[in-house]
Structure 1
């Protein structure tokens, strides 16, 4: 059986778990999205950098290719005739270091040195060649040891004649191939199997560092490529992730708070009660009341039971107070009225057999109880009189005397349930003019003891007799208690001595077999009798 504290804790724990789960999911989703976004952005930066580096080198080589057609006629002419035009062309193309003319494999004219007579193969072992060549090497003539890019263009079928253009590629690389940290650590220009690394000059192998990624961009117009080396995009994204955490935490806390507000209705006991009402999970029970003198059943008290398929059996001592706290006691009362009214055939059709239904003090507000009785009870035109048993868990608000008057005019009798406990006071007697006082079972259990409650029981009985109010004792479990209450003028008795709460459909069978010691002696069965 569940307790109120356990139920409240269960729902609160569920809400906390849901809200925390949503907050954590939001945090993970936000950081995950930021991580993926940052990683993709890093990859795009490296891709764009690589493409831009290739395009930059291509932009350097395009003017050289356009100028070579103007140099073809100069090959074979005397150096003194072409030396001037070579220098002019070199000056015009600022990226060039020198232009060299080759005839029969011999370097015979240079834009820098003028007339020369050297074998080209001694200067560049791979030249001359019948095919165009692009070589990345070190300069051995002008700036010895510096990096130079040589472009060989043959002008004869055998490749012994041609034009050699030399670029100061190391200087240009410093200007246009600078790494973009932190995304790019190394930029390398590749020509054949020779490499030019930014800041290091010509190297024979690519730089290799553990944990770095390599990306290569190949030119579609010239025989070179650019290799870009840097940290993986996911590593950079992880490194930048702590900077995104404050915003992600704020967003996750906001989502968690919104979820807490949103689940207030969906994940609360009020939602569970509404769900139980909609699914008709509540079952109507009754417990008989017997006349203290002749032991005949004079009526029943309607009770509510809830076997929740999600939580198990929930005691009325648990869900009734919680329903009052959640302002759902009125819907529960309407449910009881409607269900009981639809099953009146289980009870004797007699004006001397009453039906008692518990109502909360809050239901009296603005005469709501009168409206609900008209709709759910009197619309069925019951023959049995109705007793409203006012529970005392909450203080009774100021009651409009017209509400009490209307109830009496409808023939409804008022009873104060559990009198002497809760919020009851003598002011209730004047305010409500009750017809019945129900003695709480704690006082009944104290009969025959020296406890204070035993004395209070006698005081309540004396008060009811003095005011001519019928008395009903709850929780009667022994014959000694019944005899004590009968001697002191208690009108009716209710408790396990006579019957436990039972479903309505079981009441007719109980009524037929109800044991009555006096009737057994007399051999007669008495009809239902009023309280007095």
Structure 2
């Protein structure tokens, strides 16, 4: 048996959709941001690499070259100072080249021989190429009042020219720190003053992580250093209004689309067609019983089993509406079987099986194919067949001979067969004669028009006349007033059914039912 899907209210499904949207939205946003930040990261790395290459080139063509030309321990002379000026002129990233003797700068390219040698501060770090870097070295040109960054190879030292200004990122939310490597170990670092990512960390290019408000990228493509580029996330959103507007718009559109998708999905999941397809079971299909009154004895002669369909959200819909959907889904025999099983179960559990005649509606094709008879044989003992009436709904007959044979088989086994809602479908004398049924049920639409002289009265009289000619039992459906009851009684109608006597009731109420209106 197909199981009906768990019902989610509209707002519950929307919450599920919004949660799903969140799981998709935020990774998508991150991918977009990460891609944009990655582009800025590459630009900054290229800038830093360009500066690093420039410094290394200047060190190679100036300090290293001078170091190979002049040994340690020399006194400053005009020739040495002239050579330092010459190399200073050609250097792009270095300036103020000096000579170091006994730990003191004794002369420079721009000040010549110093009257008072200036002490060289302790090295901040030593690179893999044995170049000594000092971050806070007093500048001789300003008598030591200003400090700068120096690099030293052998006895020659030089200040970095505008290093701080040129390496500072132009974007305020983008920071960097460079870690120098010697034998694969971090020995020094420099970069944006306020940006200090924790280390040690795994030196793997492409590593990314979040730390202290920064989204960090690690680049170790060069063997002598690793760069960590950090994006200050909060600063990014504060200084990039275009990004905030874009993401806000994207958020609204994205969640609006998922809301619309959720509404359409809810409509599709719980459409009547889908509910009927999955829901022909005891939970959604409910059976109620409407008493049929013998007008001679004024006692209950039996009852008609009527279906009520309760949608998955607890709302009842009309029988006509869901029966039409059953036919569209080609589930007529499933519906009939569900009703038969429910009726037999109700009657058995309440001790009513065999006490009253119960009428059950059936589709013509299910009678013609013999499927309804198979269902009864599977679920009911043969001795109780005679206590059931099969009501043939007046619909299009695809195969009248086959239907006639199906009716004959049912009657042979003891079932009574009636035409339900007579007057609204295949109401013709030849059809009645061919089917050889037991009873006619006059459609309620004719009964409702019969309280006063009208065409409706004439039609009811005509139907009763036909039934009597064919010696059929007659049931008037939809009797709601005493006037209607008196009219059908005067015509010799055998049975009455309708709200005047009782609304459809559950099986327990049927077991206790007794006529209260006379």
| TM-score normalised per structure 2 | 0.63
Query: For the Cα contact (< 8 Å) 2:276–2:326, is it kept in 1?
Result: no
Superposition map of 1:365-514 within 5 A? 366-377=369-380, 379-382=381-384, 384-392=386-394, 395-411=395-411, 412-421=415-424, 423-426=425-428, 428-429=431-432, 432-477=435-480, 481-496=484-499, 498-507=501-510, 509-510=512-513
2:102 and 2:482 mapped to 1: Cα distance? 139
Greater relative CO (CA pairs within 8 A, separation 6+):
1
Q: 1:293 to 1:153 in 2, by over 3 A?
A: closer
Partner residue in 1 for 2:77? 79
Cα deviation, residue 438, structure 1: 0.8
Query: What is the count of residue pairs matched by the alignment?
Result: 451
Superposition map of 1:284-295 within 5 A? 284-290=288-294, 292-295=295-298
Partner residue in 2 for 1:159? none
Query: For the Cα contact (< 8 Å) 2:63–2:157, is it kept in 1?
Result: no
* Correspondence for 1:358 among 356, 361, 370: 361
Query: For the Cα contact (< 8 Å) 1:31–1:248, is it kept in 2?
Result: no
Q: 1:236 to 1:381 in 2, by over 3 A?
A: farther
Q: 1:94 to 1:284 in 2, by over 3 A?
A: closer
Q: Secondary structure at the match of 2:450?
A: coil
Cα deviation, residue 370, structure 1: 3.5
Superposition map of 1:23-422 within 5 A? 29-41=23-35, 60=55, 63=60, 73-77=71-75, 79-80=77-78, 82=80, 86=84, 95-97=93-95, 99-101=97-99, 116=112, 119=115, 127-128=118-119, 131=122, 151=150, 164-167=157-160, 169-170=161-162, 177=167, 232-234=235-237, 239-240=242-243, 260=264, 264-265=268-269, 268=272, 270-271=274-275, 274-275=278-279, 277-279=281-283, 282-290=286-294, 292-295=295-298, 297-305=300-308, 310-311=313-314, 316=319, 319-320=322-323, 323-324=326-327, 327-342=330-345, 344=347, 346-347=351-352, 349=354, 354-361=357-364, 363-364=366-367, 366-377=369-380, 379-382=381-384, 384-392=386-394, 395-411=395-411, 412-421=415-424
Q: Per-residue displacement from partner, 1:444-502 (whole Å, max 9, x unpaired)? A: 34334133322222222223233433321123355554443333232323345555544
Cα deviation, residue 407, structure 1: 2.7
1:192 and 1:400 mapped to 2: Cα distance? 93
Q: Secondary structure at the match of 2:474?
A: strand
Q: Per-residue displacement from partner, 1:193-216 (whole Å, max 9, x unpaired)? A: 9xxxxxxxxxxxxxxxxxxx999x
Cα deviation, residue 230, structure 1: 11
Query: For the Cα contact (< 8 Å) 2:479–2:498, is it kept in 1?
Result: yes
Q: 1:402 to 1:119 in 2, by over 3 A?
A: same
Q: Secondary structure at the match of 1:417?
A: strand
Q: 1:276 to 1:321 in 2, by over 3 A?
A: same
| TM-score normalised per structure 1 | 0.62
Partner residue in 1 for 2:3? none
Query: For the Cα contact (< 8 Å) 2:442–2:474, is it kept in 1?
Result: yes
Q: 1:431 to 1:233 in 2, by over 3 A?
A: farther
- Structure 2: segments with no counterpart, 5+ residues: 1-6, 124-133, 178-189, 194-213, 219-223
2:232 and 2:304 mapped to 1: Cα distance? 86
Q: 1:347 to 1:79 in 2, by over 3 A?
A: closer
Q: 1:264 to 1:118 in 2, by over 3 A?
A: closer
2:81 and 2:255 mapped to 1: Cα distance? 73
Query: For the Cα contact (< 8 Å) 2:289–2:510, is it kept in 1?
Result: no
2:281 and 2:192 mapped to 1: Cα distance? 83
Cα deviation, residue 19, structure 1: 7.5
Q: Secondary structure at the match of 1:438?
A: strand
Q: Secondary structure at the match of 2:386?
A: coil
1:139 and 1:362 mapped to 2: Cα distance? 110
Cα deviation, residue 398, structure 1: 0.9
Q: 1:105 to 1:191 in 2, by over 3 A?
A: farther
Query: For the Cα contact (< 8 Å) 1:286–1:502, is it kept in 2?
Result: yes
1:151 and 1:107 mapped to 2: Cα distance? 12
Q: Secondary structure at the match of 2:437?
A: coil
Query: For the Cα contact (< 8 Å) 1:27–1:249, is it kept in 2?
Result: no
Cα deviation, residue 148, structure 1: 11
Q: Secondary structure at the match of 1:277?
A: coil
2:229 and 2:31 mapped to 1: Cα distance? 26
1:294 and 1:230 mapped to 2: Cα distance? 89
Query: For the Cα contact (< 8 Å) 1:106–1:120, is it kept in 2?
Result: no
Between structure 1 and structure 2, the one with the greater Rg is: 1
Query: For the Cα contact (< 8 Å) 2:97–2:159, is it kept in 1?
Result: yes
Q: Secondary structure at the match of 1:232?
A: helix
